[in-house]
Amino acid sequence: MDFTRCSGVLLHPTSLPGPHGIGDLGSQAYRWIDWLSAAGCKLWQVLPLGPTGYGDSPYQCFSAFAGNPLLISPDLLIKEGFLDEQDLPTGAGLSNKRVDYGTVIPRKLELLRRVFARFTAPPGSRSGALKGLRTAFDSFRTENASWLNDYALFRAIKQAQGGGSWISWPEALRRREPSALAEARETLAGLMSRFSFEQFVFFHQWLRLKTYAHDKGIRIIGDVPIFVAHDSVDVWAHPDLFLLAQDGRPAVLAGVPPDYFSPTGQLWGNPLYRWSTLEDSGYAWWQNRLRSALRLVDIVRLDHFRGFAGCWEVPGDALSAEKGRWVPGPGADFFNVLEKNLGDLPFIAEDLGEITPDVIELRDRFGFPGMKVLQFAFSDPGNPFLPHNYERNCVVYTGTHDNDTARGWYESASEQEREFALSYLGVISRSGRRFAEALIRAAWSSVATFALAPMQDLLGLGSEARMNYPSRLGGNWTWRMAGNALSDDLQMRLKDLNSLYHR
């Protein structure tokens, strides 16, 4: 894929401001696109958009195909006649500063239950806006049946079983015995329909927003994690595609050995793929997954790209990722099949971590741009993350969702790193905010095809605005942008950078 030189900002929709406790796809998302376009940016990068499960992480979703109903905008539901103003919950508890998932989730799901109740009400009692939706909903279910039917059944059973992991369900459901599934479809038909309807509304709102972004000259970079959550419909419905033990638990787990982020490595807990079975089917499941992703976004960041060359396999009962082994991934055959069936592959390879020559060879064979993260750069002049060492076909970031903010990094860096960084960037001031501005300028001025920064860095925020601590359980994914953050001054400064460095 031959990308054109441009720039953008990393900001997950949950971080948008608004009155409903979590960022969503409503007016603030449209305002964000307007602001980004007026600043001369052409890219908006988001995290995975799926329905979050354990730890509220977008990298641990109940489905690799579905959308997150928490992103559905109540204001758009009111505007389109799905809800009335009085349906919105009142009272304290909704924060504008952080996402309090414990408060947001039940409130948002209650709103969606009300919408569905009105949608399924007798025709005479429906509002005019809802009367014409039945045909559109039926078409959506038909067009997405390959993943939606299993997803709706999975979510309905999960709710009926008290929300527990599928591994704790009755054996007949856990093993997907046909008679048990038939009974569940019959008894849970209404619940299945509701979960399908939530997806219908999510896709409706997101695809409309995507069209608006295109009209404003903005392309969306999405994120496809290589692995899926064990407690997901993907593993439950397709156990033959994963390395599972007899009881359905992962026989081996995904992770990475000790690295920059954690001295004991990262044990992600995801099951590994049975690549030989996937290969026998022509990687059909992956083809479907990426087709679905490219319906929602324009460019895909392949998270943990190195896993396609080889991945770190840890025993299923391990408590950390320190002891494991490298096992081969599908390699070039996988991407040859994708290219043959999907055409041009608009992929960015997340090639961070322990990168070996086979990973670089695989990336370069298909021309995928890799990632350069400036926070990793300031050790010595030969560091490959320093801009003077870049080739054009790469994507530079000041930091990612897994890093501290630029200001936070600077304020906690060693004296040696800090002095090298200030000298390299030509910064006299020792202000963390000024350092963040200089880091963005270094990214924008580099030869990298794409230059991106998290919104937190554009705002000059410190560690309190960090999105994720990879080795920390809980308390992640909660940061929200202030309602007055999208200032004219910041927009003009960003526009000047884009003009100056031809982005």
Q: Number of helices (H) and strands (E), helices first, in the chain?
A: 19, 12
Closest CA to 446 of 379, 377, 400, 386: 386
Residue type, 306: R
- Does the annotation mark 215 as catalytic? no
From 24, 150, 234, 402, the catalytic residue:
402
Sheet harboring 325-328: ordered strands across?
A: 266-271, 252-256, 310-315, 325-328
With the CA atoms of 267, 464, 450 and 28 taken in that order, what torsion angle do they form, in degrees rounded to the nearest 10? 110
Measured distance CA(304)–CA(353) in Å, rounded: 9
- Three-state DSSP class for 348? strand
Locus of tokens 């690549």: 275
Element (H, E) at 335: helix 332-342
- Does the annotation mark 488 as catalytic? no
From 75, 234, 303, 437, the catalytic residue:
303
- Three-state DSSP class for 451? strand
Cα dihedral across residues 233, 238, 241, 244: positive or negative = positive
Measured distance CA(192)–CA(195) in Å, rounded: 5
Measured distance CA(383)–CA(294) in Å, rounded: 34
| 92 contact partners, CB below 8 Å, separation of at least 6 | none
| 347 contact partners, CB below 8 Å, separation of at least 6 | 1, 299, 300, 301, 302, 366, 368
- Does the annotation mark 350 as catalytic? yes
- Secondary structure (H, E, C), 146-177: HHHHHHHHHHHHHHHCCCCCHHHCCHHHHCCC
Element (H, E) at 182: helix 178-187
- Secondary structure (H, E, C), 86-131: HHCCCCCCCCCCECCHHHHHHHHHHHHHHHHHHHCCCHHHCCHHHH
Tokens of 220: 């969306």
- Secondary structure (H, E, C), 260-280: CCCCCCEEEEEECECHHHHHH
> What is the pairing mode between strands 266-271 and 252-256?
antiparallel
Locus of tokens 């350069």: 372
Measured distance CA(60)–CA(56) in Å, rounded: 8
Cβ proximity of 255 and 319 under 8 Å: no
Measured distance CA(234)–CA(445) in Å, rounded: 42
From 350, 351, 404, 457, the catalytic residue:
350
Q: What positions carry a catalytic annotation? A: 303, 350, 402
